[in-house]
Amino acid sequence: MAYDTSAGYAAPGASNFQDSDATLPMFNIERVSLQFSVASDFVAAAVANNVLVLALSTGRILRIDLDSPADIDDIDLPKKTSEVGVIKRLFLDPSASHLIITTTLAENFYLHTQSRTPKALSRLKGVAIQSIAWNPSQPTASTREVLVGASDGNVYEVYIEPSSEFYRREERYLKGVYKTNDGPITGLWTDIVPGRNDLRRVVIATPSTFLHFAGKVGRHGQEGSGSIFSKLFETESATVHEIANVASTATSLLAVSPEIEETPSSDHTNAERIFGWLTSQGVLHGKLRLSSDTSELGGKVLGESKMLPRSQIPPSQTASGRNRRTQDSVTSMILSQWHILQLIDARIVATNRLDDTIVLDQVVLEPGQTAVSLVADIKKNTYWLFTNQDIFEVVITDESRDVWKIMLKAQQFDAASQYAKTAAQKDAVATACGDYLVGKGQYSEAAAVYGRSTKPFEQVALTFIDKGEQDALRKYLLTKLSTLKKSSTMQRIMVATWLTELYMAKLNALDDTITTKAELSESMNTAETQDQLSVIRREYQEFVSKYKSDLDRKTVYEIISSHGREEELLYFATVVNDYNYVLAYWVQRERWRETLDVLKKQTDPEVFYKYSSVLMAQVAVDLVEIMMRQTNLDARKLIPAFLNYNNITKVPLNQNQAVRYLLFEINQHQSTDAAVHNTLISIYASHFTSDESALLAYLEGQSMAHEQNYDADFALRLCIQHNRVQSCVHIYSSMGQYVQAVDLALKYDEIDLASSVADRSNSEPALRKKLWLAIAKKVISQSSGIKTAIEFLRRVDLLRIEDLIPFFPDFVVIDDFKEEICSALEDYSRRIDELKLEMDESEETAAHIKTDIKALEQRYAIVEPGERCYVCGLPLLARQFFVFPCQHAFHSDCLAKKVVELAGMAKGKRLGELQMEVSKGASTGTKREKAIKELDALVGSSCVLCSELAVKLIDEPFVMAMDDKNEWAL
């Protein structure tokens, strides 16, 4: 079979109710074209999970998968219709796995989806099945526990499990669990209470009675070993709804709405299914509420139900078009999500269950056609009408399109908002809801709703202002701000600014109330006012944090300042990262602790540069602690603050914070910036203390590290200006100006300091002697007696008594240093003797050298007849050769070639030139002999195997490529 894709079928006189906002009708009935032919009429049908099952009057069953309609299973009953009767009803479970077939002679059969052979249900033989409640656990290999309603008022529990054994019954067990005297069981439904697998609900419908059971079911050790519903019916009493004066043969059935595929995310109750009970008076419908408290569940379900009367269904029209009352018979009924569909004679009537409006009243059957059933696929949300010859599909398009209108009319605004789809619909709901809440005096709730609507801004704002509802106005503006587009910059700024003003006014009002200990209203005391103050302050902080980009800084500063709200002002500045403002605020008020707290959170160097001067003067220790934790500060830009601090602060050097930070930069950050070092020297040199140890330690540290990151001239001028003699002397020494260093030390009578400079000077002896002479002159000029000068002379090895004599006064007699003169003369005598001895030894050494030179002329070496060249391996005596004292011998040409290889580029080039000059023979006489002599001198200067030339062979392998490898084999 296949679907007819042409326009929907409509019989003559049909009328469609179409929503004015929709482009397609909500309901459209389409005839389904059959791609197979049948010789008999349809007598029963069932649809579930896109599987269609049709029963023919001949006893054949057609099973069609609507997803692949070309595949049709043609199944016959195991017995002829003359024996078992014509098929009367088909019951297909929601998963389309299990099919139960009942006939007019109360014969019942079971067919599994994977089977083509129906099996007779022997235990159910003779039971005229009217309804079945399938197990809610689907799909399963077996039916599990199923409730069967019979025409005699009995309810049975049966467990059917397919079996391939011929003699085995399909039913594991069959047990009657309930009996009613109100006629046939026309409807059954069971489901599980969420979260409680031991709780079940069972709904039973007869022509006159609706029964609702809810409670615990029994449990057995093995599934299918016994009834589970017996306990429920035995222990629980039903909630009953009865209709009086109804015949047992009256039309009756129970329908449940299909499973909902998509529900609004905020509506948790929509998971509940809808039931409809068709009676002679109309359709009773309502929600199958879910609750773990089963004691009042039935009463709640029936209490919220309502009746759709039969009288509300318009009568059929006569062929001539005149209206007259007829006794239309309702033969079938199904439920969609929002509508009740009834098959009334030849037409289908769809009624909205929310407001009982008829949205479809269409004649479908042609004259002579008989309706078989109106069926819903509760898994796939499809709806079908079967006649004896045709199949129709009721196609529903956008069924919930008008739900929001109905909910809005009923003033169910939350539900209306959930089902409103377009912006215009949502806006209409919000506006109506806001108006309703204002009318009820619920201004705060109305503010939130108005904020999502397009109702004129000024109209809403004036409404709240006129009513004096500032809180509601604030809430409205917040909601409105959240809905304004980002591109609406001016609107967002204005609304956000207004909100700031409202927050400040509210905070001030609460503060005034607390201060005066008054009551804000009759329902709020001072303690509650304090709590509200905290809430409003927190709301303000959240508002500022969220909408800081919509707030103009200057305007907000002015608003908050005009209200005197210090905490809120600083919070806003902090949120927008305007730390300059916060710091300036605290600095102006000389609130140093708060200033430092803000500064601790900063990483922008410019902030430190800007406020370092004032903070160094007030809280230097804490500021330096903070700055030492920063990694991106330029110490050069902090120098003005340090110098200012040093000028106004008189503290010892070990407590000086400028010195502390500069030393940190030099020692920890390894700063080589001359400005940093010069600043440290300046502070050291200008300090009021006379102790130079700190400055001297720094200078010595620089010298030990072989560095001089400071400006020596600048340092020298400072030290001279502040009479830092030791430091000046050290700087002169580090500059190599030892004479100036000694002169400066002597100028200030620092004899020991001058002596230390002279001792450590690394100059030539003449300069050292000059330095010591200057020191000696100073010592002699200051000494009161000759003995002091003599003692100084003994300390210095470079000076002699004759060097010091010119410095003594003219009246000094020789007797005063007679001993020193005698000692000096004795030293000279000893020195002369030593020099004579050295001269004799040198003369003797020269005589030995002459003897050795003469011996060299007579030196020779013995060459054996079979001796070979150490390079080429050929006999040595074959041509000119060289023999070295180490007994290595080489042919002249072999040795020359080897020397060229090992010698440097210049020597090799010169050897080549000499060889070329000798080989050509062009030059004769003295020139040629000179060339040969030079060549022999270059070639025979040293042995290539013993001399330093052999060192160049260290990276050559022992075995060359041309050598025989076997000679070295182990």
User: Edge-to-edge strands of the sheet including 42-48?
Assistant: 42-48, 51-56, 60-65, 72-76
Cα(366)–Cα(385) distance, integer angstroms: 13
- Token code pair at residue 453: 């609507």
State the pLDDT at residue 278.
94
| Amino acid letter, 621 | V
CA angle 33, 38, 39 (to 5 degrees): 140
User: What letters, b where the CB count within 10 A reaches 16 and e where it falls short, cover 901-930?
Assistant: ebbeeeeeebbeebbebeeeeeeeeeeeee
Least confident of 190-194, 210-214, 640-644, 811-815: 811-815
Rg (CA), the chain: 59
Would the pLDDT of 883 be above 70? yes
Separation between Cα atoms, residue 507 and residue 520, nearest integer Å: 12
Q: Enter the DSSP assignment of 347.
A: E
**Joined tokens for residue 311:** 């009288």
> Concatenated DSSP letters for 390-447?
-EEEEEE-SGGGGHHHHHHHTT-HHHHHHH--SHHHHHHHHHHHHHHHHHTT-HHHHH
The three-class DSSP label of residue 58 is coil
Q: Is there a contact between 613 and 644 (Cβ–Cβ < 8 Å)?
A: yes
Q: Token pair of 818, please?
A: 């007679």
Confidence of residue 964 (pLDDT cuts 50, 70, 90): low
Indicate whether 375 pLDDT > 50.
yes
Is the model more confident about 604 or about 544? 544
* Residue showing tokens 């948790």: 268
Most confident of 313-322, 432-441, 722-731: 432-441
Report pLDDT digits (tens) over 923-932: 566 777 787 7
C-alpha–C-alpha distance, residues 53 and 87, integer Å: 12
Which range, of 69-83, 309-323, 327-341, averages the lowest pLDDT?
309-323
Has residue 711 got a pLDDT over 50?
yes
Nearest CA among 388, 383, 395 for reference residue 52: 383
Lowest mean pLDDT segment, chosen from 275-279, 758-762, 894-898, 931-935: 758-762
What pLDDT sits at residue 175? 93
CA distance 146 to 158: 5
Helices 905-920 and 926-939 pack at an angle, to 10 degrees, of 140
**pLDDT tens readout for residues 556-578:** 989 988 988 888 888 888 888 77
| Separation CA 738–CA 759 (nearest Å) | 10
Residue 742 has pLDDT above 80, yes or no: no
Query: What span, in angstroms and rounded, lies between the C-alpha atoms of 270 and 273?
Result: 7
Give which of 298, 114, 269, 107 is closest to 201, Cα–Cα: 298
* Helices 443-450, 470-483: crossing angle, 10 deg rounding: 20
- Output 77 or 858, whichever has higher pLDDT: 77
CA distances 132 to 98, 368, 413, 627, Å, are 12, 31, 39, 84
What's the whole-number mean pLDDT along residues 31-49? 85
Give the closest residue to 353 by CA, choosing from 312, 325, 388.
Answer: 312
With tokens 């033969």, the residue in question is 331
**% of the chain surpassing 70 pLDDT:** 82
Tokens of 59: 């006893």
By the 8 A CB rule, do 895 and 884 touch? no
Element (H, E) at 598: helix 592-599
Overall average pLDDT of the 705-711 stretch: 79
**Region 428-433 average pLDDT:** 83
User: How many Å separate Cα 315 from the centre of its chain?
Assistant: 66
Q: Which helix (H) or strand (E) holds 889?
A: strand 889-891
How far apart are alpha carbons 333 and 17 in whole angstroms?
19
pLDDT at 787 over 70: no
- Least confident range from 92-96, 195-199, 222-226, 562-566: namely 222-226
Strand partners, 109: 101, 120
Tokens 């509802």 belong to which residue? 469
Residue 875 DSSP code: B
What is the average per-residue pLDDT within 718-723? 83
Q: How crowded is the C-beta side of 459, counted as CA atoms within 13 Å?
A: 10
> What does the pLDDT average to over 526-535?
82
- The rounded distance, in Å, linking the Cα atoms of 364 and 29 is 8
Q: Which has the minimum average pLDDT: 129-138, 202-211, 905-914? A: 905-914
The least confident of 237-251, 328-342, 702-716, 922-936 is 922-936
Distance of CA 435 to the CA centre of its chain: 44
pLDDT of residue 277: 95
- Residue holding tokens 């023999």? 883
Q: Is the pLDDT of residue 232 over 80?
A: yes
- pLDDT value at position 20? 43
**Are 105 and 59 in contact, with CB atoms under 8 Å apart?**
no
Could you tell me which of 464, 391, 407, 394 has the C-alpha nearest to residue 434?
464
pLDDT (mean) for 81-94: 93
Q: Does pLDDT of 6 surpass 60? A: no
The pTM of the full predicted model, rounded to 2 decimals, is 0.57
Pairwise CA distance, residues 856 & 560, whole Å: 111
pLDDT of residue 271: 67
Is the pLDDT reported for residue 468 higher than 70? Answer: yes
Q: How far apart are the first and last CA of the chain?
A: 94
Lowest mean pLDDT among 329-333, 395-399, 446-450, 938-942: 938-942
Q: What is the dihedral of CA 20, 23, 27, 29, to 10 degrees?
A: 140
A 10 A CB-CB count for 45 gives 22
For residue 390, give every residue at least 6 positions away whose Cβ sits within 8 Å of its Cβ, in sequence order, or none: 31, 32, 369
**Residue 734: enclosing H or E segment and its boundaries?**
helix 725-734
CA distance 386 to 372: 5
Q: How far apart (Å, rounded) are the C-alpha atoms in residues 457 and 410?
A: 27
What's the pLDDT band for 852 if we cut at 50, 70, 90?
confident
Confidence at residue 349, expressed as pLDDT on a 0 to 100 scale: 93
Q: Is the pLDDT of residue 746 over 80?
A: no
In the structure, what pLDDT confidence band is assigned to residue 103 with cuts at 50, 70 and 90? very high
Positive/negative CA dihedral, 539, 541, 544, 547: negative
Query: If pLDDT is split at 50, 70 and 90, which confidence band does 221 have?
Result: low
276: part of which helix (H) or strand (E)? strand 274-278
Q: Which residue has the higher pLDDT, 950 or 181?
A: 181
Distant-in-sequence, close-in-space partners of 23: CB < 8 Å, separation ≥ 6: none
Per the prediction, the chain carries an average pLDDT of 81
Token pair for 523: 């329902």
Strand partners, 384: 375, 393
274-278, strands of its sheet edge to edge: 253-256, 274-278, 282-287, 306-309
pLDDT at site 267: 40
pLDDT tens string 41-81? 899 999 999 999 999 998 899 999 988 887 888 999 998 98
Q: Which residues pair with 275 in a beta bridge?
A: 256, 286
Rounded CA-CA distance 643/638 in Å is 9
User: What is the rounded CA–CA span in Å between residue 88 and residue 80?
Assistant: 14
- Among all chains, which residue has been given the structure tokens 């519903």? 229
Residue 734 has pLDDT above 80, yes or no: no
The pLDDT confidence band at residue 10, using thresholds 50, 70 and 90, is: very low
Q: Of the ranges 358-372, 579-593, 787-801, which is most confident?
A: 358-372
Distance CA 355, CA 880 (A): 135
Structure tokens of 772? 């010591």
pLDDT band at 100 (very low <50, low <70, confident <90, very high): very high
Task: Give the pair of three-digit tokens for residue 661.
Answer: 């930070």
Could you tell me if 165 and 194 are in contact, meaning their C-beta atoms sit under 8 angstroms apart? no
